[in-house]
Amino acid sequence: MTPTLQNTIKKASELPIDQSRLPVLHQLIEYIKKKIDSEQSIRLNFICTHNSRRSQLSQIWAKTAAWMNGMDIEAYSGGVEVTAFNERAVASCRRLGFEIEGDSNSPNPKYSVKLDENTQIECFSKVYDDPTNPTSGFAAVMTCSDADENCPFIPGTEARIPLRYEDPKAFDDTELEAAKYDERSLQIASEMLYIFRAIGRA
């Protein structure tokens, strides 16, 4: 893990959690606890319309937070249509300290996000039922209102959790772009760290 990422995690850990977010965060905590108690694999599929920003960041931070707390989970992401892991979100991940490799010249690049020599997260835009994603025994974590409202049924889910985030896309091509992408990533990081710390203490 890079020193920059260590500093990012420390900063995210110190951010206050909005009290209004706690009920839905605890839905996800309880789901994960039940899987642990029954000694079953933990599979989380983070879903947003284009699988380009919020769902990708959530997948990365969930895997990172679990790894930080000594837990092995399977984190996925998907959308209702294929676009690309947005270059602005990728740039934010790099600014916050993630080591990322991939061919950004492809229309839908595949990136490898490295935590250590043995832990890497494969990221690219895909639909939620892509063959690389689970077909059963998973929680669908809806990270945007559009996907949550327009995907009334996702086959194979054990739980559907509406963990919505505001889209940093609203600030694309403005002077606030980098700051707002980093702000959203840090919010997601803080909540994922909160979730897995709570489980680790249980």
CA-to-CA dists, residue 73 to 70, 79, 105, 134, 151, angstroms: 10, 20, 30, 13, 24
Which CATH topology does 3-9+34-201 take?
Rossmann fold (3.40.50)
Of 16-25, 85-94, 139-148, 183-192, least confident by mean pLDDT is 139-148
At 170, the pLDDT band (50, 70, 90 cuts) reads very high
Q: How far apart are CA 17 and CA 48, in angstroms?
A: 22
Is 48:89 a contact under the CB 8 Å cutoff?
Answer: no
- Burial of 25-37, coded b for 16+ CB within 10 Å and e otherwise, reads bebbbebbeebee
User: Closest Cα to residue 184, out of 104, 91, 109?
Assistant: 91
Measured in degrees and rounded to the nearest 5, phi and psi for residue 108 equal -135, 80
Band (pLDDT 50/70/90 cuts) for residue 201 is low
Nearest-angstrom CA–CA distance, 8 and 4: 6
pLDDT surpasses 90 at 118: no
Percent of the chain with pLDDT over 90: 86
pTM for the predicted model, two decimal places: 0.95
Residue 153 has pLDDT above 90, yes or no: no
For the chain, what is the mean pLDDT?
Answer: 93
